Structure formats: C-alpha cells, structure tokens
Amino acid sequence: MLCANICVEVPDALILDFASDPESPYEKVLKKLSDPSWPLHTLLCEFVNNLPAEAVDAALADETFTLLYGKNECLARAWFAQWLLLEKASSARLRSISEAGPDGCTMPYTAECLNGIAVDQEGMVRLAEFDDAGGTVAKKGFNFTVCPTTSAPNSTFWLLRSFYEQGVAGHVRARLDPFLWGRSDEFSRLMFKMIVYAQPVNWDGIRQLKEQHHGRMISDGPPGRSELTEFCWEPRDDGIHFACEALPAKERIGFEGARYLHAIYDPDGERIMHLDGALRIYDAESLDRRHREHLRNAGKAGLRRKIFRIDEPVHRDAFSLIAQAFFVWNADLSTYFRQTLPAHP
C-alpha cells in the first residue's frame, strides 16, 4: 500500500532502525509491539497509537490487509505503520546517496573496519576486496549489503549472487548501502529463494542491427505499483549499446528511484565490454519531463547514482541473468529477456 500521501510525523529513531535492520522488515511492527524489551518499544507504541484516522482507513481499504486480517483496527494501525516506515527508510536511503560526495566520506565508508578500502568517484568499492558472505559481503568481522534499488531492502540480493555465480565478482565495483551493514556475529545471514533463469539472447539478431531497436512496456499492475519500462539497442562505432530503464509509478518517486542499465556489446568478440547499473532519482517535475521522451531521446535524466559497474569483458551468456537480477520483480523485462530479439532488416 502507499502511505506517503497521508501526512504523519515519523520518529527518526524508528526510521533508522528499519533502514538498518538486516532481518525481514515485514510484520516487524507486529512483533515489536509485543516485545517490551525492545529499546524502541515505547516509542513505537506511541507512534502507532497516535496514527490519524485516515491512516487506519487506508489500511482497512487495502485488499491485502483485509484478506489477511479482516477489519481489526489495531492490526490496521500496525499494518499502516509498517509500510510507512518502509517508505520512510527508503526515502532516507535515497537522500543519503543523493547527498553523498564523490570522496566516500559517508557511511559505511567512514567506518573503521573499512580503513584502507578505496572508494571511487562514483561511491563504489571493489568486491574483490571483500569476502563473499552469501547475499552480503564481509570485511574485518562486518557484513555489508549492496545498496537496494527499490524500497525492498533485499532487492539487490540476487544481483550480488549473480556476480559470484557468473564468476565476475572480481571485476565488479558496487555501492554499499549506507544503513544496512553491521557486525557479522549480529548480522542475520540473508537467504531468499527465487527461481532465476535466463535463456540465451538472440545475439545473431543483435549483430544484424543497422539502426536503433527500441520498445516500451507498461506494467498492468495495480495503481501506484505500475512500472514503465523502456529499452533501446543502438549500433555505434564502439559496439552495440543497450540501455534500459524501469520508471516507478509517480506515486512512488519520493522513496523509489528508476533502475537504469547500460551495456556495450562487441559482436566480433562476442562479449559484453562494459556493464553498469544505476538509480536515476527523480522529483515530480523531472519525472514529468522524462515521460515526454522515450529513453533513447531522454539523455541524462534525473540524478544518477551508480549501483554497480563492470569494466572488464563479461561473457555474453552472463548478461541476461545479471540484467534480470538487477531488474528483479519486473515481469515485463523478464519476459523480454526470455524471448528472442528479431533480426532487424
């Protein structure tokens, strides 16, 4: 459900806690309301009990909530509080990476455990300097996550796994999350199941491209959840460039960015020469301008923050799986990558 259109003051301590918790945040409010030993228990109870009537009405009008819990007002308050805290945590994350300078003088890079780790001008570090910890990376007794690309804190879990599974992690630079990290002995091991597979892209069809091949896909999801996804393949002197962007619904731009992927394919060497993924962070005005142009004509829209980059050649068979992992939960794009690209005359 969407909560941002209901004005509610949220305690910063609760937002930080939700942004920093490695355990699943879903149903967390219900659990913590029943746990008086939790340090923020009193603050959470006061926050939930003081929610306005329109917040309760919004939860009771949510079909998923009523299917699970019926019309219970107490549970409705907890449900609304949970989703609002998730949105606020995601908004805090976007603000943090938007305001971060190019020298890495922000968390987690200023933590003592990362002394000596070089942060590049795009706020990323080499995964080769960390250990694979199964959904996270580890250094000197601390675990770190790759910065999420949606409001779901596990949205880059499969992306990170794809780097290791495809054997390219040693050549990847990635942005670490400013909040979601901590001591390894206190950091819950992440494990999420999902069937991810990738059929080969029709590289012969791509090789034959003589001009741009582009498209647009509009999700038929519920209002406030629908994505607009655009892509373009373009032959250039240095290879065939692929660009793809998944724009969030306008109701979500306060706490979600647009996922943007760029790749350069060398058809003679049959390999991806460059691959990077980023968030494009929009406000209402810039998103409106972006909607007036297709991706191929939009230029450098929004505020761009890199999430990962691979500058070493990548075998083309790994491209589809990494791309699907980056755009996790985008059904239109998964369908596109599992189909063949027709040869262009």
Q: What is the predicted pLDDT for the residue at 134?
A: 84
pLDDT score at 226: 65
pLDDT of 345: 32
| Predicted local confidence at residue 1, as pLDDT | 61
**Could you say which residues of the chain have pLDDT below 70?**
1, 4, 101-105, 188-202, 220-226, 338-345
* Euclidean distance between CA atoms 240 and 267, whole angstroms: 8
The whole-number pLDDT of residue 220 equals 67
Question: For a pLDDT cut of 90, what percent of the chain falls above it?
Answer: 55
pLDDT value of position 162: 92
How, if at all, do strands 303-310 and 271-281 pair? antiparallel
| pLDDT for res 192 | 57
| Average pLDDT taken over every residue of the chain | 86
pLDDT in the model for residue 65: 85
For the stretch 260-266, contacts whose Cβ atoms lie closer than 8 Å and that sit 24 or more positions apart, written own/partner, are 260/304, 261/323, 261/326, 261/327, 263/319, 263/323, 264/238, 264/239, 264/240, 265/203, 265/206, 265/239, 265/240, 265/241, 265/316, 265/319, 266/239, 266/313
User: What residues pair up with 309 in beta bridges, in sequence order?
Assistant: 173, 276
pLDDT at 26: 73
pTM summary value: 0.88
Q: At what angle do helices 12-20 and 41-49 cross, to 10 degrees?
A: 120
- Would you put residue 141 in left (φ > 0), alpha (ψ -120 to 50) or beta? left
pLDDT at position 344: 37
pLDDT at 341: 42
CA dihedral for 252, 254, 256, 261, sign (positive or negative): positive
